Structure 1
Amino acid sequence: MRVLQLAAKMLSLERFALPLMDRLRTAGFSVEAMGQFDGTEARVADAHFPVHNWQAGHSFHPLHILRARRELRQFLAGNRYDIVHSHCSFGGIIGNSIAARCVRHLVYTQHGFFVHDGLSPVLRAPWLAIEKMGLRPADHVICVSRAEQELARSLGVGPPGKFMHVNGAGIDIARFSLPDNQRLERRRLLRHELRLADDELVLLTVSRLTWDKGYREMIEAVRDLAARGHEFVLLAAGSGKDEAAIRASIEAAGISDRLRLLGWRDDVADLYCAADVFVFASHREGLPISPIEAMASGLPVVLSALPGCREEIEDSVNGLLFATGDARELAQQLARLISDAGLRSRLGENAHARAAIFDRERVLDAQMELYRSIAERT
């Protein structure tokens, strides 16, 4: 069977779909990828998958949407696929109604709704209407958290059985769960590279440098903790469109020595080894990946209390939660961990054990079962 993995940007496929694509190919499916080229298409092509450019991007301008839909319609008319598997809201909202008319089976993985707890009631209804545009045409919807599965089922866009749940995109547990000797050696080497003392308390966040990842709250919390005399440094790994503004805010707050932007890194597994605490302050997520990676690495985590994050940890058992957007509570939770090595150790051990349920192989097994059921009916 011929399968097209579709997303508005190729980055989404490189980040979320490559392991599934590889498993499908091993099982005998012919797999291709389509999304707007953004530099990551080379990594998909290097994995020996055909790649196709789709000028979809992340814009809801009406003319842009019309062009993207026309381009997709023409492409699918000239290329016969048995299954289109779309990913993320932009790709699904723009492309699913076109794909549903061109292929026999449409699978849609919703990696995180635009609708979130902090969205104002005025905006919630129109955004739900937009989300339905992606959900309704799909034959099967894969939801990356229980909360999103419940929301999707409540929207009246298909029978309950249409919406299946998997634990996010899954992670390669073995990559992050290292023997102590390897972890300590990586910790030593990276701390030396970053000029961090062996006994320095290091906090870490891994996310895009955009305001909706909670950088305002993290800046305020770091300033508060530093003013209260806590000794630590927060490292932020990632890049994004708001990097210049975030850097300027850090400098204006006078905490450049406490909150260091590392830029995009391809050694995040080593960063987890070098850190003592992981923090994630995002405002909107499906089931975020970096907290799971940190948990698999044995780090205690402090997460915003989004529905997906609440599925990753149980507060005070294998991590700490704080109210989304609340810088004061974030600072309080971080202060608990900075001040209590025993708490860090206990939560880190429990987080490591919890991470096993998010193993990529389990997630892929569930998705492959769906593909096999489709193949049997075709």
Structure 2
Amino acid sequence: MSGSTVDASGYRPPGPAGGRSGGLRVLRVVGELNFGGTEMRTAELLPRLADAGVQVHLVTLHARVGPGPLAPMVRRHGGSITAMPLDLRFPGRFRRLLRQLRPDVVHVDCGNFSGVVLSLAVLAGVPGRVAHFRGDDNQPRSLRRRVTRWLFGRMLRMSATDILGVSPSSLTFGFGRDWADDPRCQVVLNGLDLDRLRQPGFDDLRALVGAGADGLVCLSVGRASPEKRRWLLPPIVAALDARGVTVHAVLVGPGDPADDARVRAAAAAVGVADRVHLLGPRDDVGGLLRQADAVVHPSCLEGLPGGVLEPVALGIGTVAADLPGVRYIGEHLPGVTIVDTDAAPRAWADALLAAAAYTATTDPAVAVDRFGRSVFAIDAAVATHLAIYRRRASTRRRPVVGVPNSRGRLPVDSER
């Protein structure tokens, strides 16, 4: 499937002969299509961008298009999905796609590697070149990774017209501590579509997992990967067991054989295998969240975690590790209980009980109304994206001069 458009309908991106539509054309580049924070937030923006005349085409840097919501949403709104794996042929294929689509903006969600993609967009004369940092990449790196990251970062600084981060910390860790001094940088909070979370669930959650009326149901939403630390849930359940509190832990999100096995082994080791449930990916996350007593999000690596933002929006008490993005949410909305990243299971258990108490005393309608008036409302994210896209598209006829200036980057439109 290398370099081909992945679409069951046989859709191909329009070529120059077809002319340009009256709206804006954005080429969005992501790593791999699957259920995840980047994909969910992008999918929620698409209908609103389409209503404003923006046509989004998608490139995935992986040969496989996964089961997440973004692919059908792109097709539904007239876009295309092109699988373009990273190999020696990638630069030529990507430049050919740019000539074919003639986008007004290339918007890349690939960390510092975005610099490579945006450099190709410079050569193709694309006026808008957006790099988007989604996470706090604060993990130890090998010498090779540090060198590669520095090189890609230099390319990004020279090629991007706009540099976005989902939180201040994502720009600090991704772009640099000096991000506030660069006029291209700005925080664009992930907008959250409350309408999606209000959709009815498919199941009665307590009946589904066999939880009694007096037990607590704790939900954890996120894909299976080491940094999500899903294997912490069973020891937390066991710590509450020791206090006479019955808890069912329900894990929702795409699985991974090795990670799933680690969760099950941890549950068996502490004797709670019958109360740890792996449901896999679900389309009714909002319906499940509304039935939970509390949410636990043990991830140690995040940007602005949807696994915390979504339950808090619905008035569900949430426990999360002490990360910059989590603290940022807690500064703006109630319902977040923060524990030390390396806290023992008993500390997580204490926090879970506090989160359940918050849920029990919170009116969901009040929480939803409060969220709708917060900085995380989706309308604000849509407005910011449209402002960036329209500003950059308005410069389309201006020549791109590929000569770095004295600050070591390519000239960009000075309008902010």
TM-score (norm 1): 0.82
Establish whether residue 9 from structure 1 lines up as the match of residue 28 from structure 2: no
Query: Matches of residues 1-378 of structure 1 in structure 2 within 5 Å?
Result: 1-11=24-34, 14-35=39-60, 36=62, 37-40=64-67, 42-56=71-85, 64-89=86-111, 92=114, 94-102=116-124, 103-113=126-136, 115-116=137-138, 119-120=139-140, 125-126=146-147, 129=150, 132=153, 135-136=156-157, 137-151=159-173, 154=176, 160-168=182-190, 170-176=191-197, 189-241=204-256, 242-314=259-331, 317-328=334-345, 329-337=347-355, 341=357, 344-345=360-361, 355-356=371-372, 357=374, 358-378=376-396
Which is higher, the Rg of structure 1 or of structure 2? 2
d(CA) in 2 for partners of 1:133 and 1:44? 34
d(CA) in 2 for partners of 1:247 and 1:299? 26
Query: Letter of the aligned partner of 1:54 in structure 2?
Result: A
How far residue 82 of structure 1 moved from its aligned partner, in angstroms, is: 2.1
Query: Letter of the aligned partner of 2:337 in structure 1?
Result: L
d(CA) in 2 for partners of 1:53 and 1:3? 13
d(CA) in 1 for partners of 2:354 and 2:180? 45
Q: CA RMSD in A?
A: 3.3
Q: Deviations over 1:5-41 (max 9, x none)?
A: 1112233774232343333332233332221442346
Contact 1:204 1:272 in 2 (8 A): yes
How far residue 234 of structure 1 moved from its aligned partner, in angstroms, is: 1.1
How far residue 256 of structure 1 moved from its aligned partner, in angstroms, is: 1.1
Q: Structure 1 stretch 134-143 or stretch 205-214: which is displaced more? A: 134-143
d(CA) in 2 for partners of 1:165 and 1:157? 10
d(CA) in 2 for partners of 1:249 and 1:69? 44
How far residue 92 of structure 1 moved from its aligned partner, in angstroms, is: 1.9
How far residue 150 of structure 1 moved from its aligned partner, in angstroms, is: 4.0
How far residue 335 of structure 1 moved from its aligned partner, in angstroms, is: 4.1
d(CA) in 1 for partners of 2:59 and 2:123? 17
d(CA) in 1 for partners of 2:283 and 2:333? 31
Residue 228 of structure 1 aligns to a residue whose secondary structure is: coil
Q: Which runs of 5+ in 2 are unaligned?
A: 1-23, 397-416
Percent identity of the aligned residues?
A: 27
Query: Letter of the aligned partner of 1:373 in structure 2?
Result: R
Between Structure 1 and Structure 2, the one with more helix by share is 1
Total equivalences in the alignment: 359
Contact 1:210 1:243 in 2 (8 A): no
How far residue 196 of structure 1 moved from its aligned partner, in angstroms, is: 2.8
Q: Deviations over 1:90-130 (max 9, x none)?
A: 762552322232222211221114x22xx237679557526
d(CA) in 1 for partners of 2:151 and 2:46? 28
Residue 17 of structure 1 aligns to a residue whose secondary structure is: helix
**Change beyond 3 A, Cα 1:130–1:202:** farther
Query: Letter of the aligned partner of 1:371 in structure 2?
Result: Y
**Change beyond 3 A, Cα 1:205–1:90:** farther
How far residue 366 of structure 1 moved from its aligned partner, in angstroms, is: 1.6
